[in-house]
Amino acid sequence: MYLEPLPIAILLTALLIFLIHKRATPNRSKLPPSPTKLPIIGNLHQLGTRPHRGLHALSQKYGPLMLLKLGSVPTIIVSSAEVAQEVMRTQDSIFASRPSLELAKQLLYNCRDMAFAPYGEYWRQIRKLCIVHLLSAKRVQSFSGVRDEEISQVIDRIACCSAVGPVNLSKILNSLSSGLIARIAFGRKFLGEERSKKAQELVEETSALFGGFYVRDYFPWLGWLGKLGGMDGRVKRCFINWDALLEEVIRDHEDRKRDQFGADQNEDLVDVLLALQKDRTEGFTLARDEIKAIILELFVAGTDTSYIALEWAMAELVRSPKRLKIVQDEVREILGNKSKVKEDDISKMSYLKAVIKESLRLHPPLPLLVPRESLEATKLQGYEIPRNTRILVNAWSIGQDPTSWEEAREFRPERFLNNLIDFKGNDFHFIPFGAGRRICPGMHFAISTIELALANLLYRFDWNLPNNMSPEDLDMVEAYGISTRMKSNLLLHAIPYKA
């Protein structure tokens, strides 16, 4: 195989830098265990196509606290509830920041969102704003009518499609999640078919970019390769398209406000953020780019979380007909002769809630939680952790731990009955939304959507696999990426149920 002189020179230069650095770096025996590294790439080759599984396999050999070199970035991998608790509770203040990721900076207005903002005063202010004004229980409840409308439309769509064959439930659930977030963020008046389609495309592209390999975040000194490979251009186009869409929507909202008087009873999230921008009582002024960053983040995270959780829950249930019958019997007994499930009915559905928790345990939407970074040097489990070290918590691996979960790989919702195990950050062997200061503030929003949608799907239809497929033959392989969608679309027969 012939190589051009330039790539050969680059590789030789990189190897020389590596050897000089290795010679100059002292042996630190108190660092966590680490697999053997290759020159330049470190341990990147050991991640595989599904990094959470590759890291889980490594943890079985090297323990629940490992040090990996991902390109040129030292990274601590946490794979047990015990170590996760130390990171996210005992030393939460030390591990509360985020690493400076070039991809996040370029897509999220220099990390002016909440998830990727570094720990500090700005993050505290923006988190308070989101929790109090955007994601509070009162605000989530205020959108109950929107949830009910969007889910009812999906049920009607499934009923129409079911007459002609199997329905592509994956596609329908993705459309439900993105449509619901769009309604809540932009409002019906500003949505429209064209904007809705554009937003869904941008969500998918953003998720793909965050799930891909961005060379600048692993080899800062090789950042120019992003231009040669086309990744930089792809990221730039994605940002420009998001910015244009968000600017258009914000201007429309501003124009409407100028033409109206009095309070609007149908506020969407853009309305709320624009009102906060003018409100000086909080002692914090929102810039326009910060409003855009917050909406963009809610759009992407909200769409993926609800869609993925619903897709896996339905897949696990059709693979377990016995448990599918149990949860459907529960929902239908509680509903009686009602036409659809309302949010007030959900509190009585203990088995449904257990199904959702078990699905989140087996398939957390974000199997590797958003990376953290140490603000100062510290120790974990007796090992030294230098300042500015990146931390990855493998929530998927923790959910598979046989010391915490009996028959950990089996779908058994019963394990969540008659106990107080929850996903709110207090049970560190079950952290699909994270824990501590950086716990996902939108989890209640996501769960309210997941519960209502799943209950209505189970109430209104009986579900079967197509072509006499046996449950064991259903493809449960995960797609590659930052989130764990199913690789193959979930196709099911939906048979309308008559109460």
List residues forming the annotated binding site. 440
CA dist., res. 249 & res. 186, Å (int): 7
CA dist., res. 478 & res. 118, Å (int): 31
Q: How far is CA 259 from CA 183, 196, 253, in A?
A: 21, 25, 10
Neighbours of 12 (CB within 10 A): 10
Residues making up the annotated binding site for heme are 440
3-state secondary structure 432-443: CCCCHHHCCCCH
The helix/strand/coil state of 459 is: helix
CA dist., res. 486 & res. 381, Å (int): 36
Backbone angles phi, psi at 31, to 5 degrees: -75, 160
Backbone angles phi, psi at 374, to 5 degrees: -75, 130
Residue with tokens 């931390």: 391
Residues sharing a CB contact under 8 Å with residue 123, sequence separation 6 or more, in sequence order: 114, 117
Nearest residue to 172 (alpha-carbon basis) of 180, 183, 164, 182: 180
Q: How far is CA 103 from CA 204, 277, 480, in A?
A: 15, 27, 18
Q: Is 140 left (phi over 0), alpha (psi -120 to 50) or beta?
A: alpha
β-bridge mates for residue 76, sequence order:
67, 391
Six-digit token pair at 412?
């058994």
Residues sharing a CB contact under 8 Å with residue 336, sequence separation 6 or more, in sequence order: 499
Six-digit token pair at 26?
């002292």
